[in-house]
Chain A
Amino acid sequence: MFEWMVWTPPTALVFAGLALLLVVMTVWGHFSPPVARRGFLRIETDRGDRLYIGLIGAAVVLVGWMAVTDLSMWLALGCAVLVVVVIGIWG
């Protein structure tokens, strides 16, 4: 049935991770509702907003990395995770 979607194990893993992230955020939000506040981004965000901004920022890091350097993408992934964490906590 899903043959036309030409799945690969890595992309399946990424989407499973995203789905899991959404489930975790939903459950977390149910038990402790998010609170909006201001961080260094200087706009009012709750944790869902910061996750979204963090993921977009991570994507920018990954794409930018490919555009400017030949260094390993694992390093880029490390930086991207760092971006998500920093924005998630202090953003």
Chain B
Amino acid sequence: MTRPDPRRRANRAWLLVLPVVVSVAFTAVIPLMTVVNFSVQDVFSPTDRVFVGLDWFYEAVRRPENREAFVRTLLFSAQVLLVEIPLGVAIAVAMPRRGVWVSVALVLVALPLLIPWNVVGTIWQIFARPDIGLGGWTVANLLGVDYNYTLDSTDAWITILVMDVWHWTPLVALLAYAGLRSIPQPYFQAAQIDGASAWATFRHIQLPRLRGVLTIAILLRFMDSFMIYTEPFVVTGGGPGNATTFLSILLSKMAVGQFDVGPAGAFSLIYFLVVQILCYVFFTALTRSGR
């Protein structure tokens, strides 16, 4: 039997890709093109619209609220990484390697990851309340701290940060744990023979070997925290004032709340650009670390 020409077989692959192309065009490309069209116009209705050029883009990059939200979101992402990455690695190092406690530890650590975003928000909204919430009441009454996340912007910020740490550190811990488990035993035996301390073993054997998974963890957590929406929306609604108004909350207020589709279009395209750059860095780092 003669085998079909490989070039023709490669052409047949195009046919199989077609459904994906069509569905992506329908769900992503065409809506995105529409957003681009909206971003250069003041649209009152499909028939009643004015071309405004780059005005909305100037507004998007120059409006103080937008700049503040951008800085706020970057700051939040930086804090998330600074807390979650070391904490996640510490938890992973402390988790048992063998025995029955492995499954117990894994289930306990993974539990917060199984809870949907909006439920996490609802849990923390009640948990952190100083009058009826267990956490808020403890901080306010037992520790004597003047704590109220609905009135004080620092309290609101800390509440959102702690909530994110609670929700997502397990992801870092599980990734780091998987990375630690893949280190061959002879490394540890050699370290033991050399009389290396626990810190030296961690610093020179475990940490270098965690580079790959930590790259994934850092990029995942950065992207995710940079796009955070549901939890702060449920807990603080962006307040008090603008204290927890992150980029996505500001954008949805603009697009859905005030129906300013032009400015919201320009703003979301710039937001999209930032996320796009992060995704590309993510993708490049991942494919390069695999080599």
Which A residues form the contact surface with B (CB < 8 A)? Answer: 3-8, 10-11, 14-15, 43, 52-53, 56, 59-60, 63, 66-67, 73
Closest CB in chain B relative to A77 CB, distance in Å: 11
Chain B contact residues: over half helix, strand or loop, or mixed?
helix
Given contacts A6-B46, A11-B37, 15 further A-B contacts (CB under 8 A): A3-B46, A4-B46, A6-B43, A8-B37, A8-B40, A10-B40, A11-B40, A15-B33, A56-B276, A56-B280, A59-B273, A66-B54, A66-B57, A66-B61, A67-B61
Tally chain B residues at the interface, Cβ within 8 Å: 25
Tell me the B29-84 residues at the A interface (CB within 8 Å).
Answer: 30, 33-34, 36-38, 40-41, 43, 46-47, 49, 51, 54, 57-58, 61-62
Distance from B29 Cβ to chain A, minimum over Cβ atoms (Å): 10
With both chains docked as a complex, state the minimum distance between the C-beta of A88 and any C-beta of chain B, in angstroms.
16
Distance between Cα atoms of A53 and B277 in the complex (Å) = 9
By a CB distance below 8 angstroms, the chain A residues around B30 are: 5
Query: Which A residues are in CB contact (< 8 Å) with B47?
Result: 3
Task: Report the nearest B residue to A53, measured CB to CB.
Answer: B280
What distance in Å separates the Cβ of B276 from its nearest Cβ neighbour in chain A? 7
- CA A66 to CA B267, docked complex, whole Å: 13
Q: Top 10 A-B pairs ranked by shortest CB distance?
A: A67-B61, A5-B34, A6-B37, A11-B37, A66-B61, A3-B46, A59-B273, A66-B58, A11-B36, A8-B51
Contact A43 B284 (CB under 8 A): yes
> Does B115 count as interface, using CB distance less than 8 angstroms?
no
Q: Is the CB of B33 within 8 A of A5?
A: yes
A7–B49 alpha-carbon span in the complex (Å):
10
SS class, residues of chain A in contact with chain B: helix
Q: Which residue of A lies closest to B61 (CB)?
A: A67
The reply to whether A56 and B61 form a contact with Cβ atoms under 8 Å apart is: no
Sample of 23 A–B contacts (CB below 8 Å): A4-B34, A4-B46, A5-B34, A6-B34, A6-B37, A6-B38, A6-B43, A6-B49, A8-B40, A10-B40, A11-B33, A11-B37, A11-B40, A15-B33, A15-B36, A43-B284, A43-B288, A53-B280, A66-B54, A66-B57, A66-B62, A67-B62, A73-B54
Interface: B270 (CB within 8 A): yes
User: Min CB distance, B282 to chain A, in Å?
Assistant: 13
Return chain A residues, CB-CB under 8 Å to B49.
6
Considering the complex, give the chain B residue whose CB is closest to the CB of A3: B46
- Chain B residue numbers with a CB within 8 Å of A3 are 46-47
In the complex, chain B residues whose CB is within 8 Å of the CB of A11: 33, 36-37, 40
Give the nearest-CB partner of B262 in chain A.
Answer: A6
Cα(A63)–Cα(B59), bound, Å: 11
Neighbour of A8 across the interface among B41, B54, B273, CB < 8 A: B41
CA distance A91 to B222 in the complex (A): 26
Residue of B nearest to A64 (CB): B61
